Chains A and B, each alone.
Chain A
Amino acid sequence: MSTETLVELFERGLDAPICLTWELTYACNLACVHCLSSSGRRDPGELSTAECKAVIDTLERMQVFYVNIGGGEPTVRPDFWELVDYATAHHVGVKFSTNGVRIDAAVARKLAASDYVDVQISLDGATAEVNDAVRGQGSYAMAIRAMEHLAAAGFRGFKISVVVTRQNAGQLDEFKALADRYGAQLRLTRLRPSGRGADVWDELHPTAAQQRQLYDWLCAHGEQVLTGDSFFHLAAYGEALPGLNMCGAGRVVCLIDPVGDVYACPFAIHENFLAGNVRAGGGFEEVWRHSALFSELRGPSAGGACDSCQFYDSCRGGCMAAKFFTGLPLDGPDPECVRGFGEQALAGQARTDRAALPRPGLDHSHRGPVRGQASKPVAVTIGRRPVPAPPDRACDINPLAGFAAGGAR
C-alpha cells in the first residue's frame, strides 16, 4: 500500500473529519504559560448545552468517529459529563484532555467502564519542578492524583500528554517510566507558538540538538509512543516517524471553538484560519463541506522557498501555524526546520517585523496570577497589521499516527 497515494486522497479532503478537536470552554482552573488557546476565563458566548447537543447530532449524521474534547479545562463545564454521555449514546466517541482537576475515584470508575471514552492527562514535566514552572503550582500533584485514580479503577491505556519543551526534553525516559507505572500510553506533541505559546516560544521550544535527540528517541520507541503526527517536520532527519506525515488542517481535522467558530486547526485560532461558525444556517456540515477556506486547503499546495530542498517531500514545509505565528512566510521553512533554514529566516527578521507578529484572534487569559503563574494579559491591539496571504496548507494535528493500513492494493 503506497502511503503517498493515501496522503494524496486525504489531501483532497474527506466527507467528514477523521478527527475533530472541540474546545468546549475557554474557562480553565490553570494558566499554563504556553496555552495554545489563551484560555482562562469563560466566554459569555459559549455554546449552550442544547447547541452542543445539536453539534453532536450533526457529528453522528456525518459519522465522525470521535471528537477530541479540550479547552480550556473541559471538565469545569457543569454539563461536561452530560455531553460526554450524549455523544457516546449517539455513537460519537470522546477523547478528552484534562489537567485532572475533576478526575476523582468515582469519575475514574465511570470512565474505565466505557469503551467510548478515552482520557488524556496533560503533564509537561516528569517532575513537579519542571511541570509546575509551566503549568502552575500544584498542577503536577493534581495530574498524578488523577492518574492514580484511573489506574486504580483499571483504566488501561489512558494517555499522558506531554508538550515537549527545552526544559523537559531531557526527561523522555522518565515520562515513559511514568506512563508504564500507571498502565498509560505516552503521547508527545510539539510546542506551537500559538495562543500564549507565542509569548514563551523563544524560551521553551527545544534546541536543535534536543530536536535531534527527540527524533532518535521517537524512532527507537516506534508506535509505543503517540505523537499525533505532530513532529513530521523532523522526518527530514531521515526515516519518517509513524503516521501519515501530512498536514491535516481542513482536510482530515479541524477545530470547533467554545463559541462555535470552526478553524482549520487547533493551533491556528486566528481569523485567517476561520472557516465559519456552527451557529450559521448549514451548521458544521456546511462549513466542513463547502467553506471557501477548507476548499482552498484541499487544493494543490506549493513548496515556495522550500521547493528546491531535497527534503521537502519528507517534511512538506512543516507546520503552518508555527510559521504563521512566528511571522515566517507560509510557503517557506518551518521555524524549527532541521536544516536550520527557519532559524536563519527568524534571525533575518527585522525587529519591527517581530513586534508586529500576528496575535491570536481571542484572548481569554486570567487577568491575575493563578497558582503562582502570572499569566500576562495581552494588550488589545487596535488596527492589526495587514494579514498575510491566506494559507495554502495549514498546520497538522494528525490523528493518524499508527494508522493501520488495511485493504487490497
Chain B
Amino acid sequence: MPPSSSFDLDQPWRLDERVAVRPEPFGALLYHFGTRRLSFLKNATMLAVVRSLGEHPSARAACAAAGVPDGRLPAFERGLATLAESRMITPRVVTEQGAA
C-alpha cells in the first residue's frame, strides 16, 4: 500500500475496478471487494469527483470539472489521498489515446 504522500493531484487516477459505489443521501458508501474494506464519501461533490476520475487527465482536472472551489482543493486532496491509501482509487496508466 503506497504511503499517502505518494498521492499526486496532477496524475491520472481511476476508481479501482473492484470497488462498488452506493449513493446515499449524505454522499456515498464505497466497498472494495479485494480488501473487503468500507469507506465513505461525505458529499455529492466528492462522489462526482471520484466517479469521473477516469475521464480526466488528472485528479485536479476532475475536481475542477466537478466545481470544487480552489479554497476547498486541499480538503479534496486529503480525501483522495485517503482513498488512494486504502486502494479505493488507483493510479491510471495513460496511453496515447487517453485513458487506459
Which residues of A does B touch, CB under 8 Å? 1, 6, 9, 14-16, 18, 63, 65-66, 91, 93, 95, 115-116, 118, 157, 399-400, 402-409
Q: Mark B14-44, 1 if CB is under 8 A from A, else 0.
A: 0000101010111101110110111111110
Q: Mark B67-86, 1 if CB is under 8 A from A, else 0.
A: 00000100110111011011
Asked whether any CB of chain A lies closer than 8 Å to the CB of B88, the reply is yes
Q: Do A404 and B38 touch across chains, with their CB atoms under 8 A apart?
A: yes
Q: A18-B29, A93-B31, A404-B86 are in contact. List 14 more A-B contacts (CB 8 A).
A: A6-B40, A63-B20, A65-B29, A65-B38, A66-B31, A115-B18, A118-B36, A404-B85, A405-B40, A406-B40, A407-B40, A408-B43, A408-B45, A408-B75
List of B residues within 8 angstroms of A409 by Cβ: 42, 75, 78-79
Max chain A CB contacts within 10 Å: which of B33, B46, B85? B33
Query: Contact check: which of B18, B31, B41 meets A407 at CB < 8 Å?
Result: B41
Chain A proximity of B83: nearest CB distance (Å):
4
Q: A1 with B39: in contact, given A66-B31, A407-B27, A408-B72 (CB under 8 Å)?
A: no
Name B34's closest neighbour in chain A (CB-CB): A115
List of B residues within 8 angstroms of A1 by Cβ: 42
Chain B proximity of A118: nearest CB distance (Å):
6
The CA-CA distance from A66 to B34 in the complex, in Å, is 12
Max chain A CB contacts within 10 Å: which of B26, B43, B72, B88? B26
List of B residues within 8 angstroms of A95 by Cβ: 36
List of A residues within 8 angstroms of B33 by Cβ: 65-66, 93, 115-116
Q: Do B30 and A406 touch across chains, with their CB atoms under 8 A apart?
A: yes
Q: How many residues of B contact A (CB 8 A)?
A: 33
List of B residues within 8 angstroms of A9 by Cβ: 26
List of B residues within 8 angstroms of A93 by Cβ: 31, 33, 36
Q: Do A399 and B72 touch across chains, with their CB atoms under 8 A apart?
A: no
Q: Do B25 and A399 touch across chains, with their CB atoms under 8 A apart?
A: no
List of A residues within 8 angstroms of B29 by Cβ: 14, 18, 65
Chain B proximity of A383: nearest CB distance (Å):
44
List of A residues within 8 angstroms of B76 by Cβ: 408
Name B36's closest neighbour in chain A (CB-CB): A118
Q: Do A404 and B39 touch across chains, with their CB atoms under 8 A apart?
A: yes
List of B residues within 8 angstroms of A115 by Cβ: 18, 33-34
Query: Contact check: which of B22, B72, B88 meets A406 at CB < 8 Å?
Result: B88
Q: Do B38 and A15 touch across chains, with their CB atoms under 8 A apart?
A: no
The CA-CA distance from A93 to B76 in the complex, in Å, is 29
Name A16's closest neighbour in chain B (CB-CB): B22
Q: Do B22 and A63 touch across chains, with their CB atoms under 8 A apart?
A: yes
Q: Do B20 and A405 touch across chains, with their CB atoms under 8 A apart?
A: no
Name A405's closest neighbour in chain B (CB-CB): B82
Task: Enumerate 11 A-B pairs (CB-CB under 8 Å) in ascending A order.
Answer: A65-B20, A65-B38, A93-B33, A115-B34, A403-B38, A404-B37, A404-B38, A406-B39, A406-B79, A407-B83, A408-B72
The CA-CA distance from A53 to B36 in the complex, in Å, is 23
Query: Contact check: which of A15, A116, A404, A408 meets B24 at CB < 8 Å?
Result: A15
The CA-CA distance from A1 to B40 in the complex, in Å, is 11
Q: Do A407 and B22 touch across chains, with their CB atoms under 8 A apart?
A: no
Q: A14 with B79: in contact, given A400-B38, A406-B30, A406-B88 (CB under 8 Å)?
A: no
Q: Do B24 and A405 touch across chains, with their CB atoms under 8 A apart?
A: no
Q: Do B41 and A406 touch across chains, with their CB atoms under 8 A apart?
A: yes
Max chain B CB contacts within 10 Å: which of A157, A402, A405, A406? A406
The CA-CA distance from A93 to B45 in the complex, in Å, is 27
Q: Do A399 and B38 touch across chains, with their CB atoms under 8 A apart?
A: yes
Chain A proximity of B55: nearest CB distance (Å):
19
List of B residues within 8 angstroms of A408 by Cβ: 42-43, 45-46, 72, 75-76, 78-79
List of B residues within 8 angstroms of A66 by Cβ: 31, 33, 36
List of B residues within 8 angstroms of A118 by Cβ: 36
Closest 10 CB pairs of A and B: A65-B31, A407-B42, A408-B75, A404-B86, A406-B83, A407-B41, A408-B79, A63-B22, A406-B39, A406-B82
The CA-CA distance from A65 to B40 in the complex, in Å, is 13
Chain B proximity of A186: nearest CB distance (Å):
15
